[in-house]
Amino acid sequence: MSAAELDRIEALLPNWLEEKRRKCQYGKVASYIPELSKSPAEALGIHITDAQGRSVAGGDSRLPFTLQSISKVFTLILALMDNGEEVVFDKVGMEPTGDNFNSMLKLELVQPGIPFNPLINAGAIAISSLIAGSSTTEKSARVLDFLRLLAGNPSLHYDMDIYRSESDTANLNRSMAYFLKDNGVLKGRVEDVLDVYFRHCSVQVTCADLAQMALVLAHDGNNPITGESLIPRRYVQIAKTFMVTCGMYNASGEFAIQVGLPAKSGVSGGILTMVPGKYGIGVVGPALGRKGNSIAGVALLEALSQELDWSLF
């Protein structure tokens, strides 16, 4: 069944890629991390992998880009595996915010002053401090190894230019982290926690890597190709639920209605999504729409989901 559907997607993709790519002109590449502004604004690529290891790819699917916020899904999972639910959700909430991904507003306004969810910056910084390890180097190495394992790609590495560019300019994330420290949310030195955070945001991937990581989430934490069990099912369930409620910034509701799949986007223009039980999907399109998601990438996913009836809802 899936092979025939993949053939259909392969036949549809070239036209859709061409049509949706035109939307890039209405978006903007992120520039608040200076190095990100060098990303190609016209690019659009996709890679879809199924449980038998078959895949379909198109457009600029080989373009390297950084994980950015997409990494937050996996640090959340690793922190859950390291600490369990009780410890993690003592430090981070479970609700969407309605504010920008880098907002500090509610940290002061809403008691007990813990971040609303693990996918906004404040929450992901708190999660970075929950990663086990005796040093910053060990914590970062554990995150990178976990990402390599899920992607089935031992050569995943940091884009050091993006890492330095973010670390040198992250005044807002820095102030947020110091605020969290004062609220008793962060363990350890603030700069060490931030270093773990900046590093996981700067891991370089392609759409194929995202698709493989997503395939594991689509199969309840198992790699369906090797049969390995990589993540406890409960933690995949938690991560996928956050992806539905908060994965696409303040467009998560609209994405749930138009596409209907768990997804997480990043400011680099990447989107990781999946058809549960079937496919892992990676998309890249650095030109972002008003709400911070890849403008052409979202349009492409809308077309695919509607044509193939993928919505879970």
Q: Which residues bind ligand GLU (CB under 6 A)?
A: 68-69, 101-102, 121, 166, 173, 201, 266-267
User: In whole angstroms, what is the distance from residue 36 CA to residue 224 CA?
Assistant: 34
Least distance in angstroms from the C-beta of 121 to ligand GLU: 5
Backbone region of residue 277 per phi and psi (left: phi > 0; alpha: psi in -120 to 50; beta: other values): left
Pick the closer one to ligand GLU by CB: 102 or 250.
102
Q: Which of 72, 91, 106, 240 is catalytic?
A: 72
Pick the closer one to ligand GLU by CB: 102 or 153.
102
Which amino acid would we find at residue 49?
T
Helices (H) and strands (E) in the chain, counts: 13, 10
Least distance in angstroms from the C-beta of 69 to ligand GLU: 3
- Does the annotation count 69 as an active-site position? yes
- Does the annotation count 32 as an active-site position? no
- Does the annotation count 106 as an active-site position? no
Least distance in angstroms from the C-beta of 160 to ligand GLU: 14
User: In whole angstroms, what is the distance from residue 131 CA to residue 77 CA?
Assistant: 10
C-alpha distances in Å from residue 246, one per residue of 94, 220, 239, 270:
9, 19, 10, 15
Q: Which of 56, 267, 284, 298 is catalytic?
A: 267
Pick the closer one to ligand GLU by CB: 173 or 305.
173
Least distance in angstroms from the C-beta of 173 to ligand GLU: 5
Pick the closer one to ligand GLU by CB: 250 or 311.
250
Which amino acid would we find at residue 106?
K
Which strands form 65-66's sheet, in the order they lie side by side? 65-66, 203-205, 157-158
Q: Which of 158, 163, 235, 249 is catalytic?
A: 249
Residues designated catalytic: 69, 72, 197, 249, 267
